[in-house]
Amino acid sequence: MRRALTQEIQNLIDRGRDRQLRLAVTGLSRAGKTAFLTSLVNQLRHAGIDARLDLLKAAREERLLGAQRVSQPDLGIPRFPFDEAMHSLATTPPRWPEPTRGISELRLTLRYRTRRAHGLLGDTATLTLDLIDYPGEWLLDLPLLEHDFLSWSEAQLKAMGPERQRYAHDWQSAMSALTPQDVVDESRLAALAERYAASLSDAREAGFSHLQPGRFLLPGDLQGAPVLQFFPLPGVQESDRATLEALPSTSLYQTLARRFRYYQQHVVKPFYREHFRRFDRQIVLVDVLGALNAGPERFEDLSLALSTLMRSFDYGKRSLINRLFAPRIDRLAIAATKADHVTPDQHANLVALLEALLAEPIKDLRYADVPVRALSLAAIRATQAREIEDDGRRQPVLRGHGLDDQPLLIYPGDVPPTLPPRDFWQRQGFTFTGFRPPASDGASALPHIRMDAALEWLLGDKLR
């Protein structure tokens, strides 16, 4: 008890002196959060040794002395599995680390020399950096707080395009015989919820992103609980609200609405309150190339998921009072991941497309005077850029190993710099192939693309 109180007092002191930073690594499924966090820790641990961090000013000026992992403040949250991730990368053949399956944290202390006037080095100082990781699927639940059951049901069914409906066909067929006033027993509700969850899982495998509730995709310790046994109700609309709300408590509509409210109050709100509201900085990772690969409906679905998601965070300028008691996200990075899956001449287009995807949220952030930067990166670079001779012309290509460990030499294709029109997918040819990670001895700094730029934006002002 005394030790916990001492730690909490020290945290308050560090926050008051602006010597503690909580960084949230967010993004939807398969955006590369685990790889990003693994690389971030690896780069900071190798600062000043063999890490290539020229764009991080404190490292370029040789003021960053390194980083150490220390005990995290919340002992009730699992530690981010950094060692396991590094072990996966060092196997033969190397494997990508396992994706996030629950919330985790990791605390680093960064030791650096302060900078005085005329470039002189000052005293040593320490920055405490708390890194927070959690399943991308859970992020999708935050927008549910804007709805009640009726408006959520309408929104879910309206957002289903023709391809998305294909994956919900079995569930919708099972629902066709039911009406809102029916009394449905627990076992049938559970079976219908299981079919709905299966439709979400199938849609995710097919490349869709805007899938709710997110916990249905990764339930964790809620597996089998009645709180996860609900689903949107087809056919209901706002004009029916009075009739629906007058139905008895045993009706299908009222049962589902009650479980939806419980889910909001006991699953979504505590997660938001206990974790999201304590972040200082945030990076949102986006798999733009995966959405392009998947086609127009999935690309639009990603855009909808991201714009909805961005409204859920608490952005604003930080003051001393905010740092101590009500921190808000005061700096944001938005990163298109897997930049090593396209040739370097396409990186600018990748950033431009990312900015187009998030045009409206970025405008809102800038209006609120929240610094935001878009960039492309590869947390762990899996390819090498090369050129080949093709009909007398130099053609950029990528060399690496596919996920099946076969060597590849390919030109994946061009990235559109703006939101593509509907006919883009018929006339544009590209295949953004997956690559396995590079061979690693587990003792060296991981290769990357622009991780140092991300670190400079997220941490650089704290390392002066």
Angle at 305 between CA 457 and CA 137, to 5 degrees: 85
DSSP per residue, 149-210: HHHHHHHHHHT--HHHHHHTHHHHHHHTT--TT----HHHHHHHHHHHHHHHHHHHHTT---
pLDDT at 322: 47
Residue of higher predicted confidence among 315 and 65: 65
| Local structure of residue 460 (DSSP, 8 states) | G
Split at pLDDT 50, 70, 90, the class of 13 is very low
Is the peptide bond between 416 and the residue preceding it cis, with omega within 30 degrees of 0?
Answer: no
Residue of higher predicted confidence among 393 and 349: 349
Helical (H) or strand (E) element with 336: strand 331-336
Of 111-120, 374-383, 395-404, the poorest mean pLDDT is in: 111-120
- For residue range 223-275, list pLDDT tens digits in order: 889 999 999 999 999 999 999 999 999 999 999 999 999 999 999 988 877 77
3-state secondary structure of 393: strand
Residue for token digits 């190798």? 46
Residue of higher predicted confidence among 344 and 140: 344
Portion of the chain with pLDDT greater than 90, in percent:
57
- For residue range 21-80, list pLDDT tens digits in order: 999 998 887 899 999 999 999 999 999 999 999 999 999 999 999 999 999 877 888 899
Written as one letter, the residue type at 359 is A
Would you tell me how many other CB atoms lie within 10 Å of the CB of residue 310?
21
Contact call for residues 234 and 195 (beta carbons, < 8 A)? no
pLDDT at 6: 53
Asked if residue 1 has pLDDT above 70, the reply is no
Asked if residue 276 has pLDDT above 90, the reply is no
Asked if residue 398 has pLDDT above 90, the reply is yes
Asked if residue 137 has pLDDT above 70, the reply is yes
What average pLDDT does the chain have? 87
Please, where are the H alpha helices in 94-139? 136-139
| Token duo for residue 287 | 């798999």
Written as one letter, the residue type at 383 is T
Residue of higher predicted confidence among 406 and 323: 406
Asked if residue 317 has pLDDT above 60, the reply is no
- For residue range 23-38, list pLDDT tens digits in order: 999 888 789 999 999 9
DSSP per residue, 262-309: HHIIIIIHHHHHHTGGG-SEEEEEE-HHHHHHH-HHHHHHHHHHHHHH
pLDDT at 336: 96
Of 13-17, 93-97, 250-254, the poorest mean pLDDT is in: 13-17
Residue of higher predicted confidence among 335 and 142: 335
By the 10 Å C-beta count (0-12 exposed, 13-18 middle, 19+ buried), 3 is classed as exposed
- For residue range 180-231, list pLDDT tens digits in order: 999 989 999 999 999 999 999 999 888 888 899 988 988 878 888 999 999 9
- Report CA-CA distances (Å) from 133 to 95, 107, 222: 20, 12, 19
Domains for the chain: give ranges and CATH numbers.
2-134+277-383+440-462 (3.40.50), 147-272 (no CATH)
Residue of higher predicted confidence among 304 and 403: 403
